[in-house]
Structure 1
């Protein structure tokens, strides 16, 4: 089969909830369309930014349906699967039935396993369908080189997304395995660490801020690839590090701060989140609002469709 792989900046839509806490399909469609209009190279639906842990099966299926109908084959679509092995296998089958390109395998629920156990968990999911599979390395699912070398025998495995930040391990994995896999940076606010990842062969990353300031994501990545050190420095100083400092203030802001940013720029997703994630506190919301106001003034977006 032809395998459409993620390249460049990967979009991770949120799960917009209305005031009753129900999934808002229209808002999700606008979120996805916005990412497409801004030129993001792939869509990862129903993953961490979409509060994967809080979605029921019907909502999960609905999010995929909205993504497929909105994307219309323009870019690859990947879903999130994971948790306990039965649930992961069920969601993998759902993803295959819905006709997406692949899935991102999230860590198993809670328990830490030996390498053989992690290998079996991942292999079982990867072999369950013909879809592309990307392993998300983080928390209790960190692969050592011998484990990944066994997994790459499976043709469905096309990539590894790193959310750990162990540079020694990343060097070993990328230099031994090389172009057999696509390498994605999945660290929290990946722009912060991307300069350390690009030289190792990481050609893609998930950008949380692309949900509300995608032109900054693009400016930053192009500056990084073109070795424009001044632009990289300026974007770090004016935008990326200030937002990252807010994100680190509370657990769960990795999700809720995205929704706050989208609300500030006028995207109709609302700020409702599901427990245990908490909404952004007013003080931090105002701080983000001021950063975004300054961002649009200093780094204007041509023909921007959303306004502060």
Structure 2
């Protein structure tokens, strides 16, 4: 098997799981979501991960989402799937992902249990031994690898191409980046990653997952370009006038990290409704109106250079 051992870099696309009025998966809306991300220049598609409500979809829906992503991406960008949860399910999803033809997978935290480092090592080891596909580890919630455990896994499994951080321990991040260097690609996976990217970029993180790209990708591009070029004035302007207001809404209720994306897409007329599956709740009417105001102000300050526009 000939596999390029390289993780995606730049702005990473994380599509949603759109639903119809009856609660079933809306495949045409998912296709449009993915095609939009590819058209807008995102470097990759990570399907059925956190933004795609991995926790709430069935195995059948999972397969449909991957098949849809591969067809919609059409080989233009790599497609990674999300795997995780209990170890038996994780192995099934890895095999299914490989059979369907993804380039790699992101390992989400194991279900509920907070294990010791040795237990986490064996959780990841069991998954990694199951496939030669590229794998990205995820520092989040109940799955935080310390440097010795990560070093042990990286030494044993060349298919580990990156580590995504959604935990925010900068001391640990520095230990990892300074020790492992260019052996891995480092991905900022913090909730609303744009908020922390000024700090992460300076310690070797060249990539981040952008939920905002699902509805205002031109802001993600503008912001990331300003960060890379050291345009601090533009970085601060976007940070204060766009990111902070959006983040204030996101932090107001648990689960809004997903709900905010769908509401933003609906506001932008992108064919996804403000609907999520329990236990996540949709944006309240007040928060929805606040989001409309923030997006409208954003588009007035940073117009889209195309025919796209906010709904009237």
Smaller-chain TM-score bracket:
over 0.9
The Cα shift of 1:270 comes to 1.1
Q: Aligned equivalents of 2:109 and 2:54: distance in 1?
A: 12
CA contact under 8 A between 1:267 and 1:306: conserved in structure 2? no
> 1:53-202 counterparts in 2 under 5 A?
53-153=55-155, 154-202=157-205
Which TM-score applies when normalising by structure 2?
0.97
The Cα shift of 1:72 comes to 1.2
> Aligned to 2:210, which of 201, 207, 211?
207
Q: Aligned equivalents of 2:310 and 2:299: distance in 1?
A: 9
Q: Alpha-carbon deviations, 1:32-71, whole Å to 9, x = none?
A: 0100110000100000001100010100000000000011
CA contact under 8 A between 2:296 and 2:310: conserved in structure 1? no
Q: 1:15 maps to what in 2?
A: 17
What runs of 5+ residues in structure 1 fail to find an aligned partner? none
The Cα shift of 1:5 comes to 2.0
> 1:152-301 counterparts in 2 under 5 A?
152-153=154-155, 154-301=157-304
Q: Aligned equivalents of 1:150 and 1:186: distance in 2?
A: 22
Q: Aligned equivalents of 2:7 and 2:190: distance in 1?
A: 19
**SS of residue matched to 1:152:** helix
Q: Alpha-carbon deviations, 1:157-212, whole Å to 9, x = none?
A: 11000001000000000000011001000001000000111111101000110000
Q: Aligned equivalents of 1:186 and 1:2: distance in 2?
A: 23
Q: Aligned equivalents of 2:26 and 2:47: distance in 1?
A: 14
CA contact under 8 A between 2:6 and 2:161: conserved in structure 1? no
- What is the count of residue pairs matched by the alignment? 308
What runs of 5+ residues in structure 2 fail to find an aligned partner? none
**SS of residue matched to 1:291:** helix
Q: Aligned equivalents of 2:237 and 2:260: distance in 1?
A: 22
The Cα shift of 1:304 comes to 3.9
**SS of residue matched to 2:202:** helix
> Aligned to 1:34, which of 33, 36, 55?
36
Aligned CA RMSD, in angstroms, stands at: 0.8
Q: Aligned equivalents of 1:162 and 1:51: distance in 2?
A: 18
Tell me: CA distance 1:167–1:4, structure 2 relative to 1, closer, same or farther (3 Å): closer
**SS of residue matched to 1:169:** helix
Q: Aligned equivalents of 1:305 and 1:293: distance in 2?
A: 13
